[in-house]
């Protein structure tokens, strides 16, 4: 995963920043009316990424 400007790149996918609520930042291919329905949720302070219902721990390179 690479964050660049308002885009998250994961493999060949490019997700757009859709907004944030509290500690959670939301990304999706096209932003939904309800951002909580976005396909990716990132909690930077905990280094957690949820993508399509799977959770990952992120590390800085």
Q: Please give the pLDDT value at position 1.
A: 77
pLDDT tens per residue across span 19-46: 999 999 999 999 988 988 999 999 988 9
Q: What does pLDDT average to over the chain?
A: 90
Q: Please give the pLDDT value at position 25.
A: 94
φ/ψ region of 52 (left if φ > 0, alpha if ψ in -120 to 50, else beta) reads left
pLDDT exceeds cutoff 90 at 2: no
pLDDT exceeds cutoff 90 at 18: yes
How much is the average pLDDT of 39-54? 91
**Distances from the Cα of 17 to the Cα of 6, 9, 36, angstroms:** 5, 11, 12
């Amino acid at each position: 995963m690479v964050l660049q400007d308002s885009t998250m790149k994961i493999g060949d996918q490019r997700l757009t920043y859709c907004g944030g609520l509290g500690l959670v930042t939301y990304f999706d291919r096209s932003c939904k009316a309800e951002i909580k329905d976005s396909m990716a949720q990132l909690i930077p302070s905990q280094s957690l990424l949820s993508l399509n219902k799977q959770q990952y721990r992120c590390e800085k390179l």
